Protein backbone atom coordinates (compact mmCIF):
# COMPACT_ATOMS: atom_id res chain seq x y z
CA UNK A 1 0.00 0.00 0.00
CA UNK A 2 2.83 2.37 0.77
CA UNK A 3 4.41 1.59 -2.60
CA UNK A 4 1.33 2.99 -4.40
CA UNK A 5 1.65 6.33 -2.61
CA UNK A 6 2.85 9.10 -4.89
CA UNK A 7 4.56 11.75 -2.81
CA UNK A 8 4.31 14.38 -5.53
CA UNK A 9 0.51 14.08 -5.60
CA UNK A 10 0.42 14.24 -1.80
CA UNK A 11 2.69 17.31 -1.82
CA UNK A 12 0.62 18.99 -4.54
CA UNK A 13 -2.66 18.54 -2.65
CA UNK A 14 -1.10 19.63 0.66
CA UNK A 15 0.37 22.73 -0.97
CA UNK A 16 -2.94 23.60 -2.64
CA UNK A 17 -4.79 23.20 0.66
CA UNK A 18 -2.32 25.34 2.60
CA UNK A 19 -2.32 28.07 -0.07
CA UNK A 20 -6.13 28.16 -0.25
CA UNK A 21 -6.46 28.44 3.52
CA UNK A 22 -3.76 31.13 3.64
CA UNK A 23 -5.43 33.16 0.89
CA UNK A 24 -8.83 32.94 2.61
CA UNK A 25 -7.42 34.01 5.98
CA UNK A 26 -5.42 36.92 4.53
CA UNK A 27 -8.42 38.11 2.49
CA UNK A 28 -10.62 37.98 5.60
CA UNK A 29 -8.07 39.92 7.62
CA UNK A 30 -7.77 42.57 4.92
CA UNK A 31 -11.55 42.93 4.65
CA UNK A 32 -11.84 43.20 8.43
CA UNK A 33 -9.18 45.95 8.52
CA UNK A 34 -10.89 47.91 5.72
CA UNK A 35 -14.24 47.67 7.50
CA UNK A 36 -12.58 48.88 10.71
CA UNK A 37 -10.95 51.76 8.86
CA UNK A 38 -14.17 52.85 7.18
CA UNK A 39 -16.05 52.81 10.48
CA UNK A 40 -13.36 54.68 12.45
CA UNK A 41 -14.68 58.22 11.89
CA UNK A 42 -17.43 60.10 10.15
CA UNK A 43 -15.23 61.21 7.27
CA UNK A 44 -13.92 57.74 6.52
CA UNK A 45 -17.47 56.36 6.73
CA UNK A 46 -18.49 58.79 3.98
CA UNK A 47 -15.44 57.68 1.98
CA UNK A 48 -16.44 54.03 2.47
CA UNK A 49 -19.99 54.68 1.29
CA UNK A 50 -18.62 56.51 -1.74
CA UNK A 51 -16.32 53.58 -2.58
CA UNK A 52 -19.27 51.20 -2.25
CA UNK A 53 -21.39 53.28 -4.59
CA UNK A 54 -18.57 53.39 -7.13
CA UNK A 55 -18.34 49.60 -7.01
CA UNK A 56 -22.10 49.28 -7.52
CA UNK A 57 -22.03 51.63 -10.51
CA UNK A 58 -19.30 49.63 -12.21
CA UNK A 59 -20.28 48.90 -15.78
CA UNK A 60 -20.23 45.21 -16.58
CA UNK A 61 -20.04 45.83 -20.34
CA UNK A 62 -16.59 47.38 -20.00
CA UNK A 63 -15.20 44.19 -18.52
CA UNK A 64 -17.04 41.65 -20.67
CA UNK A 65 -13.94 40.85 -22.72
CA UNK A 66 -11.90 40.28 -19.55
CA UNK A 67 -14.60 38.02 -18.12
CA UNK A 68 -14.74 36.04 -21.37
CA UNK A 69 -10.96 35.68 -21.38
CA UNK A 70 -10.99 34.40 -17.79
CA UNK A 71 -13.77 31.93 -18.63
CA UNK A 72 -11.86 30.68 -21.67
CA UNK A 73 -8.66 30.22 -19.65
CA UNK A 74 -10.59 28.33 -16.96
CA UNK A 75 -12.07 26.10 -19.64
CA UNK A 76 -8.60 25.38 -21.05
CA UNK A 77 -7.32 24.63 -17.54
CA UNK A 78 -10.21 22.25 -16.96
CA UNK A 79 -9.48 20.46 -20.24
CA UNK A 80 -5.79 20.14 -19.38
CA UNK A 81 -6.58 18.68 -15.94
CA UNK A 82 -9.16 16.31 -17.44
CA UNK A 83 -6.81 15.02 -20.14
CA UNK A 84 -4.00 14.70 -17.60
CA UNK A 85 -6.19 12.40 -15.53
CA UNK A 86 -7.40 10.43 -18.58
CA UNK A 87 -3.86 9.88 -19.91
CA UNK A 88 -2.48 8.81 -16.52
CA UNK A 89 -5.07 6.03 -16.08
pLDDT band with cut points at 50, 70 and 90 for residue 24: very high
Are 81 and 47 within one domain? Answer: no
The pLDDT, as a whole number, for residue 23 is: 95
Are 46 and 63 within one domain? Answer: no
Distance CA(54)–CA(3), nearest Å, equals: 57
Is-contact 14 5, C-beta < 8 A? no
The number of distinct structural domains making up the chain is 2
Q: Note if the pTM is more than 0.75.
A: no
Are 53 and 68 within one domain? Answer: no
Are 37 and 63 within one domain? Answer: no
Measured between its terminal Cα atoms, the distance across the chain in Å is 18
> What range does the domain containing 42 cover?
1-58
Are 26 and 12 within one domain? Answer: yes
Whole-number Cα distances in Å, 78 to 8, 10, 18, 33, 70: 20, 20, 21, 35, 12
For the cut 80, the answer to whether the pLDDT of residue 59 exceeds it is no
Are 65 and 49 within one domain? Answer: no
Amino acid sequence: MLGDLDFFVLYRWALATVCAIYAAVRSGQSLWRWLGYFSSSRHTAVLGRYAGILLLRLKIRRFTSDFCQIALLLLVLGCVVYWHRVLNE
